[in-house]
Amino acid sequence: MIPAPFEYARARSIEHAMEVLQDDEEAKLLAGGHSLIPLMKLRFVRPSMLVDIGALHELRYIRREDDHVAIGALTRHHDLANDAVLQRDCPIVADAASRIGDPQVRHMGTIGGSVAHADPASDLPAVLVALQAAFVIRGAAGAERIAAAGDFFQGLFTADLARAEILTEIRVPVRTAGWSFIKFTRRAQDWALVGVAAVAGPGGVTVALANMGQTPIRAAAVEARLAAGDPPETAALHADEGTAPPSDSFGDAEYRRGLVKVLVGRALVEALS
Ligand SMILES: Cc1cc2nc3c(=O)[nH]c(=O)nc-3n(C[C@H](O)[C@H](O)[C@H](O)COP(=O)(O)OP(=O)(O)OC[C@H]3O[C@@H](n4cnc5c(N)ncnc54)[C@H](O)[C@@H]3O)c2cc1C
């Protein structure tokens, strides 16, 4: 299918993008276009105007700042995967980005687009929830607010992001201890049937799951069992508690419930080794 007709504006700055968004209630931001354009082709969404922020280089950076790595929202998956700072200070982000889709998707797709799109099957949202990342959001008149990743994803394709707000930066706390990102797919380059991100830090172990509900989900029962002293293999048996996995042509909910326990067990062993 081809998309419904729409206007197009190339943003010259963040402020310009905000102006266009505020002038047109049906306008949408366009970053890499690798989630939005497919939806437009299916006519699931019909924005009257696309505000293309793809050329805003001020939103494309990765830099170490104090206790976190700051990532501009327009940073491409390919850049995340190959960045020396991330590989050293937060390798789980680089690793997860390197396994998104295919090279074309990684060269066009952005971390900000992936986060804003809030697809529960996406890789980076689950990783950022496990890392307890923070999102910097620019609103009207330049006002900035910060949202915790754990509160940001509110439902299926629904995030704590108002229509005229722009996600500008992702802040990833630097953790020096272990990590694991496991993405279970039936074919290379598929979306995760189930994904698991586990991070072991000074405060304990955090585990987040992709494609096990309407949002990326913290495996709270697993974390609690580990904190209580259970060994990883016992804690992992609680990985499906509090989840609501989908059933689709790749696997039904029961299959995912069994699978997630196995994957969490493996992820914990790797993160804690
Ligand atoms: C064939 C294919 C395979 C893929 N495989 C995977 C995969 O294995 N794993 C995975 O995680 N993802 C996968 N993706 C999705 C890919 O990672 C997308 O690029 C990403 O989800 C969206 O990023 P984008 O920059 O393309 O966003 P866009 O499509 O441009 O935008 C997505 C949404 O976010 C909004 N938005 C974008 N940027 C901002 C911002 N800065 N502030 C506020 N709102 C914003 C847009 O308005 C739109 O609603 C795949 C995509 C394709 C086409």
pLDDT, tens digit only, all 273 positions of the chain: 799 999 999 999 999 999 999 999 999 999 999 999 999 999 999 999 999 999 999 999 999 999 999 999 999 999 999 999 999 999 999 999 999 999 999 999 999 999 999 999 999 999 999 999 999 999 987 899 999 999 999 999 999 999 999 999 999 999 768 999 999 999 988 999 999 999 998 889 999 999 999 999 999 999 999 999 999 999 999 999 999 999 999 999 999 999 999 999 999 999 999
**Could you tell me if residue 146 is inside a domain?**
yes
* Ligand 1 nearest atom to the CA of residue 37, by list position: 29
- Count CB atoms within 10 A of the CB of residue 103: 10
Q: Are 96 and 163 in the same domain?
A: yes
Write the residue with the smallest CA distance to atom 11 of ligand 1.
Answer: 122
Q: Are 17 and 108 in the same domain?
A: no
Alpha helices in the chain (DSSP H): 14-23, 36-41, 77-82, 84-89, 91-98, 103-108, 111-117, 123-130, 149-152, 220-227, 232-235, 253-272
**Could you tell me if residue 219 is inside a domain?**
yes
Cβ-contact 170, 73 below 8 angstroms: yes
Q: Are 197 and 89 in the same domain?
A: no
**Could you tell me if residue 77 is inside a domain?**
yes
Q: Are 65 and 133 in the same domain?
A: yes
* Ligand 1 nearest atom to the CA of residue 38, by list position: 53
| Strand partners of residue 207 | 198
Q: What is the per-residue pLDDT for 144?
A: 95
Distance 57 CA to ligand 1 centre (A): 18
Write the residue with the smallest CA distance to atom 53 of ligand 1.
Answer: 34
Q: Are 265 and 185 in the same domain?
A: yes
Write the residue with the smallest CA distance to atom 2 of ligand 1.
Answer: 101
Q: What is the per-residue pLDDT for 127?
A: 98
Q: Which of 112, 144, 173 is the last residue of a domain?
A: 173
**Could you tell me if residue 1 is inside a domain?**
no
Domain limits for position 240:
179-272
Q: Which of 155, 173, 191 is the last residue of a domain?
A: 173
Distance 101 CA to ligand 1 centre (A): 11
Write the residue with the smallest CA distance to atom 4 of ligand 1.
Answer: 101
Q: What is the per-residue pLDDT for 203?
A: 85
Q: What is the per-residue pLDDT for 23?
A: 93
- What is the C-alpha separation between 191 and 101, in angstroms, rounded? 7
Q: Which of 173, 205, 220 is the last residue of a domain?
A: 173
Ligand 1, pocket residues at CB < 6 Å: 28-36, 38, 73, 100-101, 105, 108-110, 112-114, 116-117, 122-124, 161, 166-167, 191
SS3 state of residue 71: strand
Mutating to test ligand 1, I would choose from 34, 181, 185 the residue with most ligand atoms within 8 A of its C-beta, which is: 34
Distance of CA 253 to the CA centre of its chain: 22
**Could you tell me if residue 2 is inside a domain?**
no
Q: Are 72 and 47 in the same domain?
A: no
pTM of the model: 0.97
Q: What is the per-residue pLDDT for 140?
A: 80
Q: What is the per-residue pLDDT for 176?
A: 66
- Total number of domains constituting the chain: 3
Residues 6+ apart with CB under 8 A from 115: 73, 124, 125, 128, 135, 152, 159, 167, 170
